[in-house]
Amino acid sequence: MPGVVVLGCQFGDEGKGKVIDYLAERADLVVRFHGGANAGHTVLVGDEKYAFHLVPSGILRPATMNVIGNGVVVEPPALLQELEDLRKRGHAAENLRISDRAHIVMPYHKVQDRVEEDLKGRLKAGTTGRGIGPAYEDKVGRFGIRMADLLDPSMLQDKLETVVPIKQRLLQAYGSHEVLDAKAIFREYAGYGERLARYVTDTSILVEAALRSGKRILFEGAHGTLLDVDFGVYPFGVSSNCAAAMASIGSGVGPQAIGEVIGVVKAFTSRVGTGPFPAELQDATAEHLRERGGGEYGTTTHRPRRVGWIDLVMLRLAARVNGLTGIAVTKLDVLGGLPTVKACTAYTFAEERIEEFPADLRVLSKARPVFEEFAGWPDLKEDEWGRLARKGYDALPETMRAYLDAISKAMRAPIRVVSVGQSREATIHLAT
């Protein structure tokens, strides 16, 4: 393998953490290539639960190098807190490197995030308020602060003397009373620079050298394709590209570095935040999915997720824009016990059938789902699913396999991983 990209095909929270954790075992390098501390992965190792926001998921394996690529926006206090938590739990995190080109989330970004959200009205994206969007805005606006600036106090001071007054005027124009103190910001962030300096390097060189020497690289996606700033439900998504090609730009290596793209698909759909959701459920089945879904609450936001049936229209878009070579389906156990399981195969709008995911929000918000029904499968306990998983794919209920076949056919990619529980054991990996 040159590089494998693992990413979410829906709205995030697909269970990527578990799939990435498994693949990280075989990887020499794990790279985060986009997003910020607004992402979250949950990894369960034995009884220990780890929630990662900025550090890549291979951090628990000392022999694996973990890279925060240039495509990520870094919130230094959040990262330092995460490293401190890991240290307290016995993980030194010496195997971390951060790109000197990664942009920094500054305190004024958080204020800007909140006031912009307030002013956006119906276009409110429902952000986590962590300043990620404004940090990306500054990156593109070319007055962002980068990791390299944090390590160079005179450069940092220089930049802040220009940027902070601009931000102050912007916030005032927005009607905010927040007063920014450039000197205090400088002191705080130069301090973070000192503490993070040991991890900072030109990670593009590191990733390219690893590729050249035949090392195995795992590119770890955050969020999900339907939150992608180009292909997601714009503007109700995130500020970065989540699609597979971003792995190349966000880590500083050419696209031929990507050999495989594994799309993680939850057996149903869930999302936090606002925006159209054609296959959304509001009934007792919704409660079943939310409660049984291992607590369908966001890893970072803790907000209850909106849930619905699997949406193959969305998933076809995800398969296309990511160029998937394989699919990992998770949380099939959560659907256990339902007499029938549905899949949204198309939408209707103004009496027309829509097969491809529309860009037009007006169409999307009025689109009615067309469902295909599948027979359900039994509700088993975690250890029972684990025992079945050990026996392999053919031991799974026939009805579940029929459902998986329909997903694979719609997405035109083979099923590579099946997950029927939280534990590492409740997972089937199919050979290529």
Residue of the chain from 95, 128, 251, 422 that contacts ligand GDP (CB under 6 A): 422
Residue of the chain from 37, 74, 171, 420 that contacts ligand GDP (CB under 6 A): 420
Which residues 27-56 are close enough to bind ligand GDP by CB under 6 A? 40-42, 44
Q: What are phi and psi of 235, to 5 degrees?
A: -95, 20
Question: What is residue 146's DSSP assignment?
Answer: B
| Least Cβ distance, residue 267 to ligand GDP (angstroms) | 8
Which candidate in 34, 41, 103, 223 is catalytic? 41
- Regarding 358 and contact with ligand GDP (CB under 6 A), the answer is no
| Least Cβ distance, residue 78 to ligand GDP (angstroms) | 16
Contacts of 209 (CB under 8 A, 6+ apart): none
Residue of the chain from 4, 5, 9, 15 that contacts ligand GDP (CB under 6 A): 15
Question: What is residue 368's DSSP assignment?
Answer: E
Asked if residue 19 lies in contact with residue 54, where contact means CB atoms within 8 angstroms, the answer is no
Which residues 400-419 are close enough to bind ligand GDP by CB under 6 A? 419
Asked if residue 426 lies in contact with residue 389, where contact means CB atoms within 8 angstroms, the answer is yes
DSSP 329-348: EE-GGGGTT-SEEEEEEEEE
Instruction: Identify the bridge partners of residue 269 per DSSP, sorted by sequence position.
Output: 308
Task: Lay out the site mask for ligand GDP across 165-194 (x = CB under 6 A, - = otherwise).
Answer: ------------------------------
Q: Which is nearer to ligand GDP, 40 or 237 (CB)?
A: 40
Residue of the chain from 3, 4, 10, 14 that contacts ligand GDP (CB under 6 A): 14
* Nearest-angstrom CA–CA distance, 39 and 416: 24
Q: Which is nearer to ligand GDP, 45 or 92 (CB)?
A: 45
# binding residues, ligand GDP (CB under 6 A):
22
Task: Lay out the site mask for ligand GDP across 310-349 (x = CB under 6 A, - = otherwise).
Answer: --------------------xx-xx---------------
Residue of the chain from 168, 204, 299, 348 that contacts ligand GDP (CB under 6 A): 299
| Least Cβ distance, residue 179 to ligand GDP (angstroms) | 36
Helix (H, G, I), strand (E, B) or coil at 45: strand
Q: Which is nearer to ligand GDP, 15 or 278 (CB)?
A: 15
Structure tokens at 368: 């009615």
Which residues 228-267 are close enough to bind ligand GDP by CB under 6 A? none
H helix count then E strand count, the chain: 14, 20
Our answer to whether residue 41 is catalytic in this structure is: yes
* Nearest-angstrom CA–CA distance, 98 and 395: 43
Our answer to whether residue 13 is catalytic in this structure is: yes
Task: Count other C-beta atoms under 10 Å from residue 368's C-beta.
Answer: 12
- Tokens 């962030």: give the residue: 189
Q: Which helix (H) or strand (E) holds 203?
A: helix 203-212
Instruction: Identify the bridge partners of residue 196 per DSSP, sorted by sequence position.
Output: none
Helix (H, G, I), strand (E, B) or coil at 73: strand
Q: Which is nearer to ligand GDP, 14 or 82 (CB)?
A: 14
Site for ligand GDP, rule CB under 6 A: 8, 12-18, 40-42, 44, 294, 299, 330-331, 333-334, 419-422
- Catalytic residues, by residue number, are 13, 41
